[in-house]
Amino acid sequence: MRYLPMQSDIERVLFDEAAIHKRLEEIAAQITADYRDRELTVIGVLTGSFILMSDLLRRIPLPLKLDCLTVSSYHGKTQTSGEVIFKQPPLPDVLDRDVLIIDDILDTGHTLAAIREKLEQAGPRSMRVAVLLSKKKQRAREVDVDYVGFEIEDEFVVGYGLDFMERYRNLPYIGVLKKELIEPTS
Ligand code: IMP
Ligand code: MG
C-alpha cells in the first residue's frame, strides 16, 4: 500500500487501535463498577478527547449525562503556554452531580488543574478525572487523575484525537510524530 503523507509523518506507533480498545474495556469496567449506584455526569474536554469519549462511553452501560467544554492553551506550538482560555461560557451545570472529566492527555497539568478548579467552584457532589495518556514528567501543576489509560515518556504524540496544529486527530492509533516536523526551524 502506498503510504499517505499523514502516516509517513509518524516515527513509530505507540498504541494501535486494538491495544487502545483493550485498555478502554478495562477502564470502562472500572468506571462502571465505581459509578453503579450514581448518575454520572461526563464532561469531555474538546477537541482532543472526542474519539476517546466516543469509544469509552459506549463501553459504560450506565445512565449518564454528557457535556463538553472547550479550552485551549496552545498557540500552534508543542509547548503549553500555561495560560488556559475558556472558550465556551457558560460552563456545564455540575451542581450536586457526580462528575467525571475526560481528557486526552495529562502533560504539564495546567489544563486539567484549571478545569478542576473552575468546576469545583460550581459545587459538584464529586469529581474524578480520566485521561487516556499521562506523560511521565515533572508537572508544572500537580493534578489528581483517577483513571489513566497509559503512561508514556515525555514525547509529542498524535492520533486518536490528539493533534499537532489541528492535524492527525483522525489517525486511529497513537504515534510519535517525527521530531523534524515539530522542532522550531529557527
Ligand atoms: P497540559 O495543560 O500541558 O497538561 O496539556 C494538556 C493538553 O495539551 C492536552 O489536552 C492536549 O490537547 C495537549 N497536549 C499535551 N501533550 C500533547 C501531545 O503530546 N500531543 C498532542 N497534544 C498534547
Ligand atoms: Mg490539543
Q: 57: which residues sit within 8 A by CB, 6+ positions away? A: 42, 64, 66
Question: Which pTM value belongs to this model?
Answer: 0.90
Q: What is the pLDDT of residues 68-90, one digit of tens each?
A: 998 876 655 566 777 777 765 67
Judge whether residue 14 has pLDDT over 60.
yes
**Is 107 an active-site residue?**
yes
pLDDT at site 82: 78
Binding site membership of 48 for ligand 1 (Cβ less than 6 Å): yes
Q: How far apart are CA 117 and CA 91, in angstroms?
A: 12
- Give the chain's length: 186
Residues with CB under 5 A from ligand 2 (ion): 48
Helix (H) / strand (E) element for 72: namely: strand 64-72
Q: What is the pLDDT of residues 22-43, one digit of tens each?
A: 999 999 999 999 999 999 999 9
Binding site membership of 103 for ligand 1 (Cβ less than 6 Å): yes
Contact between 107 and 124 (Cβ < 8 Å): no
Mean pLDDT over each residue of the chain, to the nearest integer = 91
